[in-house]
């Protein structure tokens, strides 16, 4: 009778070697021997478990290809297939190229599977100490130290790129998950919630077309530069209260968006001032092109209104916050934002902190107490402790 085959494999050391090796059988029963590239027994066992799990999930061939894939090769593949339009916006592709130019100076020769969280943190610490280099006719001139937001953007690009490798089963896990950014990024991913009083001040100081932009975005949540500025007349169906979005940042963004009465009136107002061209927001230079930016007029309008500066993109965040504060379930807010991932809503939900503070101010500390008060205003006469 044949001995039962052991499928779990094991780790061992070769004679004269300090590195642990692993042996296991693949799906076809073929014996495999590979180096774990580590002298630590625990790490070697972890590597073996990853191989066995990949074997059981039928992803072992892809994982083995990932072991031999260089970072530079994957960078080229990512830029060509997952970064260019129409998969990503042209600006996003430019950001990816700029970030990978710096990342490749360090990780280009390394194998994709050999990059660790410690390697990434070391890279980030070095980048945070470097200075901005500006090209001139006489060579490069060094300016101030790099901003933490610039270096953090490189980390986000790296995380996105390795997440794709994980989805393609080329990596078992993304090493960026274990990275702690070694600097504080003030105000990062902290969207501003525009209050109703702020909106009234800004609209009073804004030109007509910017006032329409504010009302449309806060009532529909449209992406300003990807969906609103290139919008054409034929996308509107004001009789039925909808607007069609044929192109967006994500596949879920391509949809028919319902309009509120305020949004319909804002679109009608814009139709009355946009001229005879096809675009609702025509360019200042020519009627055959659309407006591409509102940064200057937005900054000047905010200043005239006496409101602290915040990004115009935060109008979309305001839309999400108002839905959530109105009692709309988070799942529905995600649908109305036309996001593919519900996790994105967490970025917008951070804005509700101010509303939570306002709710806490209404906390009734006298509830269910027989006329006693603890440090709060007392409506009825009676004994209290530290009342005001």
Q: What is the CATH number of the domain that holds 90?
A: 1.10.150.130
Per-residue pLDDT, 250: 79
User: Is residue 353, in this structure, part of any structural domain at all?
Assistant: yes
| 168 in the same domain as 200 | no
| 351 in the same domain as 207 | yes
| 205 in the same domain as 341 | yes
Tokens of 66: 């990932």
Write the Ramachandran bin of 275: left for phi over 0, alpha for psi from -120 to 50, otherwise beta. left
User: Is residue 80, in this structure, part of any structural domain at all?
Assistant: yes
Per-position b or e across 287-323, b if 16+ CB within 10 A of its CB? eeebbeebeebbeebbeebebeebebebbbbbbbbbb
Burial class (CB in 10 A: 0-12, 13-18, 19+), 2: exposed
- SS3 call for 208: helix
283: domain CATH number is: 1.10.443.10
User: Is residue 64, in this structure, part of any structural domain at all?
Assistant: no
| 352 in the same domain as 220 | yes
Distance (Å, whole) CA 357 – CA 336 = 26
Query: How many structural domains compose the chain?
Result: 2
Cβ-Cβ contacts under 8 Å for 140 (sequence gap 6 or more): 133, 134
Domain edge (last residue) among 148, 178, 208: 178
| 334 in the same domain as 202 | yes
| 283 in the same domain as 240 | yes
| 171 in the same domain as 242 | no
| 173 in the same domain as 200 | no
Q: Supply the Cα-derived Rg of the chain in whole angstroms.
A: 28
Distance (Å, whole) CA 152 – CA 181 = 8
| 211 in the same domain as 145 | no
Place of tokens 């000047």: 300
For the chain, the distance separating the N- and C-terminal CA atoms, rounded to the nearest angstrom, is: 90
The answer to whether 192 and 317 are in contact (CB under 8 A) is yes
Domain edge (last residue) among 113, 143, 178: 178
Distance (Å, whole) CA 319 – CA 214 = 10
Sign of CA dihedral 105, 182, 348, 197: negative
Distance (Å, whole) CA 184 – CA 187 = 9
Q: What is the DSSP annotation of 295-361? A: HHHHHHHHHHHT-----TTHHHHHHHHHHHHTT--HHHHHHHHT-S-GGGHHHHHGGGHHHHHHHHT
Cβ-Cβ contacts under 8 Å for 23 (sequence gap 6 or more): 9, 10, 11, 12, 31, 32, 33
Distance (Å, whole) CA 140 – CA 153 = 23
User: Is residue 340, in this structure, part of any structural domain at all?
Assistant: yes
State which residues form the domain around 202. 196-357
Q: What is the DSSP annotation of 96-138? A: HHHHHHHHHHHHTTSBGGG--HHHHHHHHHHHHH-EEEEEETT
User: Is residue 49, in this structure, part of any structural domain at all?
Assistant: no
User: Is residue 89, in this structure, part of any structural domain at all?
Assistant: yes
| 211 in the same domain as 174 | no
Tokens of 193: 């919630």
Q: pLDDT tens, position by position, for the chain (388 residues)?
A: 444 445 578 888 888 778 788 888 877 788 888 777 677 888 888 878 887 887 877 776 766 676 778 899 999 999 999 888 877 778 889 999 999 999 999 998 888 888 888 899 999 999 999 888 888 888 878 888 888 888 999 999 999 999 998 888 788 778 888 888 877 665 555 678 898 999 999 999 999 999 999 999 999 999 999 899 999 999 999 999 999 999 887 788 889 999 999 999 999 999 999 888 899 999 888 778 899 899 999 999 999 999 999 999 899 988 988 888 888 887 888 888 887 666 666 565 555 556 666 666 766 655 555 554 444 444 444 444 444 3
Q: What is the DSSP annotation of 243-268? A: EEE-S-SSGGG-EEEE--HHHHHHHH
| 118 in the same domain as 202 | no
| Size (the chain), residues | 388
Distance (Å, whole) CA 226 – CA 247 = 8
Element (H, E) at 34: strand 31-35
Per-residue pLDDT, 186: 58
User: Is residue 99, in this structure, part of any structural domain at all?
Assistant: yes
Domain edge (last residue) among 149, 178, 207: 178
Distances (CA, A) of 243 to 190, 222, 239, 254, 267: 29, 10, 10, 11, 10
| 201 in the same domain as 171 | no
Distance (Å, whole) CA 215 – CA 264 = 10
């Amino acid at each position: 009778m044949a001995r039962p085959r052991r499928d779990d494999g094991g780790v061992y050391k070769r004679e004269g070697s300090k590195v642990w090796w692993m042996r296991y059988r693949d799906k076809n029963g073929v014996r495999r021997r590979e180096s774990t590239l580590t002298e630590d027994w625990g790490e070697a066992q972890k590597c073996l478990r990853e191989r066995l799990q990949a074997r059981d999930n039928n992803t072992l061939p892809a994982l083995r290809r990932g072991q031999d894939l260089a970072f530079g090769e994957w960078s080229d593949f990512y830029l060509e297939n997952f970064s260019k339009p129409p998969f990503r916006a042209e600006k996003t592709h430019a950001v990816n190229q700029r970030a990978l130019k710096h990342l490749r100076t360090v990780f280009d020769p390394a194998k994709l599977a050999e990059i660790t969280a410690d390697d990434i943190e070391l890279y980030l610490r070095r980048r945070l100490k470097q200075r901005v280099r500006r090209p001139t006719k006489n060579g490069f001139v060094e300016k101030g130290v790099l901003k933490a937001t610039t270096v953090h953007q490189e980390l986000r690009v790296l995380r996105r790129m390795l997440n794709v490798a994980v989805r393609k089963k080329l990596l078992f896990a993304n090493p960026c998950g274990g990275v702690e950014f070694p600097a504080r990024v003030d105000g990062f991913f902290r969207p501003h919630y525009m209050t109703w009083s702020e909106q009234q001040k800004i609209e009073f100081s804004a030109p007509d077309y910017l006032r329409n932009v504010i009302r449309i975005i806060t009532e529909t949540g449209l992406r300003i530069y990807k969906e609103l500025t290139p919008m054409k007349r034929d996308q509107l169906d004001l009789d039925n209260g909808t607007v069609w979005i044929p192109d967006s940042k994500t596949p879920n963004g391509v949809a028919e968006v319902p309009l509120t009465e305020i949004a319909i009136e804002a679109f009608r107002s814009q139709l009355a001032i946009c001229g005879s061209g096809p675009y609702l927001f025509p360019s200042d230079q020519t009627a055959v092109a659309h407006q591409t930016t509102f940064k200057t007029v937005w900054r000047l309008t905010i200043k005239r209104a006496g409101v602290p500066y915040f990004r115009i993109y935060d109008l979309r965040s305001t839309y999400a916050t108002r839905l959530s504060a109105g009692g709309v379930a988070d799942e529905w807010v995600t649908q109305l934002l036309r996001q593919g991932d519900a996790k994105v809503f967490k970025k917008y939900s951070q804005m509700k902190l101010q509303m939570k503070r306002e709710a806490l101010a209404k906390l009734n500390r006298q509830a269910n107490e027989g006329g006693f008060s603890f440090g709060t205003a007392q409506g009825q006469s009676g004994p209290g402790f530290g009342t005001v």
